[in-house]
Amino acid sequence: MSISPYQYQLLTQSFATLKPNFHCFCVSLHTQLKRYELEFAMPSSPKHLLTVEHSIQTFLSEGIALLPQQSALVDLITQHKLHFDALKLSEQDIAVLCHTMLETLQLHLGRQFTLALRNAWRKALHMFANIIKSVVFQTSNVVNLQSFRQQKQQQFSTIR
């Protein structure tokens, strides 16, 4: 899965819009996340929240910049594996984070959050989520075609 140049442009422009008031965006995101039962530990002290906000902004900025080069994005996420491990994220937490991120983007971008922008963010977050799951949980959504064919052939043989 790759991102089109137009989608990349939409992402970079919308993130640039969020940057000057990223603290407000993170407060909204944090508020949205409180509505869900999450396994990972969210920091609650204001000092920790500011540190996390800065880390999120830096990570998103670097991640968005690397979206066109997926192998570099994998390297970035691998570099942050210890942070993800420390959060004790579950796969469900990642899905909730992506969903609340979209809701918060819509809230903060207002009319700018067009269908095209929503689709661009959805695709980008899907890419982030899949790579994070791959790095943190050693899972993959890629199916080896040869293994798939062998499995189907075995199933067919047992039916006979």
Contacts of 57 by beta carbon, 8 Å cutoff, 6+ apart: 19, 22
pLDDT in tens, 75-112: 999 998 988 888 888 899 999 999 999 999 999 999 99
CATH code, domain carrying 66: 1.10.490.10
Say how far residue 30 (Cα) sits from the centre of its chain. Answer: 15
pLDDT in tens, 116-155: 999 999 999 999 999 999 998 887 665 555 666 677 777 7
What is the domain extent for residue 9?
Answer: 5-158
| Segment holding 56, helix H or strand E | helix 46-66
> What are the phi and psi torsion angles at 3 (to 5°)?
-105, 140
The pTM (predicted TM-score) of the whole model is 0.81
How many domains does one find in the chain? 1
